[in-house]
Chain A
Amino acid sequence: MFAADLTLPAVYAKGDDSRSRTGSPKPMDEARFEAFYRRTAGSLWSYLFRLTGNEAAADDLLQKTFFRFLRANPAVASEEHLRSWIFRTATNLAFDHFRETKRERIKLEERVRDAVTVLEPRDAMRHDMMRTFAQLKPRERALLWLAHVEEADHEDIGEALGVKTGSVKVLLFRARKRLGELLTKKGLAP
């Protein structure tokens, strides 16, 4: 899914309307941005929500990602480039968020674990899945989501997580094993 060259700003590969009269790439206008946002924000929010386990944090990180995206003056070649840039930036911001809120997060996780709540069956399942996923390390969560849901290749996952492409295979294997162990513990393993 992700493309290799993620440098912003780059020029549009095709389409003369993307360039100004001076020949420099045109920045994204509001209509283009809105269309791109509507195509990507949903999947990006899902990723951030699964990564943080917190709707407010996912909202915040989503907005920060798009602020950075607009500040980077994203006149780039393809939707794939834009999308991979967005996921990479969102991952970096999420990891920064984890570093900044480590102590609060531990308290929050304890509170969620200890909370006795009556939930609808569908919500209970959702809650249970979120709790299972939250037991993985942030990097493991990101690896699994990018590989299984976004179907990103190892090179792109490596770029998004700041690890060597060669290490992704090993890290992904470990993350899958760890998820398997958690599911076995809960009696959910296939």
Chain B
Amino acid sequence: MKCAHEGNVLRAAAEDRWSEALRGHVGECADCAAAAAAAPWMSSFARMSDREHRLPDPSIVWLKAQLMQGVADVARISRPITIAQLMAYFAVAAGWAALLTWKWHAVQAWLHSFTPTGLVQNAARSESLSISFLTIVFVLASTTVMLALHTILAEE
């Protein structure tokens, strides 16, 4: 706790008006002695004029605060949508990764079939990817396109 006389010491030091009792106390109390030593300078430092500086207008501060509040509200309300969007990105990416891992050999063979040699061999064997695989690819591709469109349109 601060010394009970500190307030009086600060005032006396700032105004240079000392009573004998207070002067005696400063001689005994190290805290008050330090306070008395710093007080005159701090007092003139505080009196240093700041008037030439123009403070920001309160109505501008109010308006900016309202705008910032609006932006913060929009961010708060749209947070669930943002989270759902992120989850959708993750689900689509995971779906593609799982599909490619699962059917990597079939995809490789299918891609290989587009080379001139592959086209000839494929024509002879009439081998292709299964309907279920193509359906999954179609669903994933559609979801990816829809997600991409949603992202672009939402940004606009």
Q: Quick one: given A42-B50, A173-B34, are A34 and B7 in contact (CB under 8 Å)?
A: no
Within 8 A of B (CB), among A23-56: 30, 33-34, 37-38, 41-42, 45-46, 49-50, 55
Report if A109 contacts B (CB, 8 A).
Answer: no
Q: What are the residues of chain B within 8 A of A71 when measuring CB–CB?
A: 65, 68-69, 72
Q: Which residues of B contact A144 (CB under 8 A)?
A: 38, 42
Known contacts A37-B61, A70-B69; is-contact A179 B30 (Cβ 8 Å) = no
- CB under 8 Å from chain A, chain B span 16-71: 30-31, 34-35, 37-46, 48-50, 53, 55-56, 58-59, 61-62, 64-65, 68-69
CB-based nearest B residue for A186 = B41
Can you list 5 residue pairs at the A/B interface with Cβ under 8 Å? A33-B58, A45-B53, A49-B50, A67-B64, A148-B38
Confirm or deny: A62 has a beta carbon within 8 angstroms of a beta carbon on chain B: yes
**A58-100 Cβ-contact flags toward B at 8 Å (1 or 0):** 0100110011001100000000000000000000000000000
- In the complex, the answer to whether B68 meets A67 with C-beta atoms within 8 Å is yes
> Which of A129, A153, A190 has the most chain B CB atoms closer than 10 A to its own CB?
A190
Give residues in A with beta carbon < 8 Å to B.
Answer: 30, 33-34, 37-38, 41-42, 45-46, 49-50, 55, 59, 62-63, 66-67, 70-71, 126, 129, 133, 144-145, 147-149, 151, 153-154, 165, 168-169, 172-173, 176-177, 179-180, 183, 188-190
Contacts A38-B58, A45-B55, A173-B31; A148 near B65 (Cβ below 8 A): no
Chain B residue, CB-CB nearest to A170: B31
- Tell me if B2 and A169 are in contact (CB < 8 A): yes
B1 within 8 A of A: yes
Inter-subunit contact A63/B64 (CB<8 Å): yes
A176 touches B35 (CB 8 A): yes
Given A63-B64, A70-B62, A177-B34: A183 touches B53 (CB 8 Å cut-off): no
Q: Is the CB of B1 within 8 A of A173?
A: no
Counting from the closest, the 4 A-B pairs by CB-CB distance are A176-B34, A148-B42, A37-B58, A70-B65
Place the interface of chain B in its size category: 20 to 34
A41/B55 in contact, CB under 8 A: yes
Q: What are the residues of chain A within 8 A of B42 when measuring CB–CB?
A: 144-145, 148-149, 179
B55 touches A133 (CB 8 A): no
List chain A residues, Cβ under 8 A from B55.
Answer: 41-42, 45, 59, 62
Give the interface of B toward A (CB within 8 A).
1-2, 7, 10, 30-31, 34-35, 37-46, 48-50, 53, 55-56, 58-59, 61-62, 64-65, 68-69, 72
| Residues in chain A near residue B48, CB distance under 8 A | 126, 129
A58 to B79, CA, bound (A): 33
CB distance from B113 to the nearest CB of A (A): 59
Which of A34, A126, A172 meets B62, CB within 8 Å?
A34
